[in-house]
Amino acid sequence: MKKFFFSLFLSLPIFIAMPVFAEEPSTPDHSTHSPTEPSTLTDTMKGHIVEHCAEIRIQLKELQKSDSRIRVYLGDTYDHILTNYITPLNIRLVENNLSNAPLIENQNSLADIRAIFTTDFISYQQKLEELASMNCAATPENFYDTLLIVRARREIMKQDALRIRSLISDHIKLVNDLKGEL
């Protein structure tokens, strides 16, 4: 009896501690492909995957690292712009009774997209890691299906980066307009 309760006590943390999964991407996840990339796997492509599986996995691992570096660099820059430029500017404008609603809306949008950028990156990297860990020689079909999903998520990352860049450009335009009014 003692042993039963003891083993039950030991196994409790495993069942209680539920893993928290990252949120799904902000935009619907569907396997999209560029017009130049075929969505179906041909026999030739299958042969190439099986033949170059090891090299492909190495490339994917390197891509993981380079994407992580890009994410850190861009993320830091976005945070720097938001924290040291946009937010203090809006605060200063409020202090000087020059509060500008479009600028504040721009700041809020930028903060939201910045958070989405991180969430989407986690989702993308999870799938990329799954892809890099797959045995493409054994299951080239599954590998290619997963590759299509990773491409879609990478495209989402690209769109996030473009949206952030666009919001920063909008901010600059608004500040230029404000400068003209002074």
Binding to other proteins, residues 149-168 (CB under 8 A):
150-151, 154-155, 157-158, 161, 165, 168
Taking the C-alpha atoms of residue 51 and residue 36, their distance in angstroms, rounded to an integer, is: 22
Closer CB to other proteins, 113 or 144, in the complex: 144
Q: Confirm or reject binding of residue 139 to other proteins (CB under 8 A).
A: no
Site for other proteins in 72-91 (CB under 8 A): 72-74, 77-78, 80-81, 84-85, 88-89, 91
Site for other proteins in 36-65 (CB under 8 A): 36-38, 45, 48-49, 52, 55-56, 59-60, 63-65
Q: Confirm or reject binding of residue 93 to other proteins (CB under 8 A).
A: yes
82, 171 contact by CB (below 8 A): no
Q: Confirm or reject binding of residue 137 to other proteins (CB under 8 A).
A: no
Taking the C-alpha atoms of residue 176 and residue 103, their distance in angstroms, rounded to an integer, is: 11
The phi-psi region of residue 97 (left if phi > 0; otherwise alpha if psi is between -120 and 50; otherwise beta) is left
163: Cβ contacts below 8 Å, ≥ 6 apart? 113
121, 22 contact by CB (below 8 A): no
End-to-end CA distance of the chain: 82
The residue from 2, 5, 21, 101 that contacts other proteins (CB under 8 A) is 21
How many residues of this chain bind other proteins (CB under 8 A)? Answer: 71
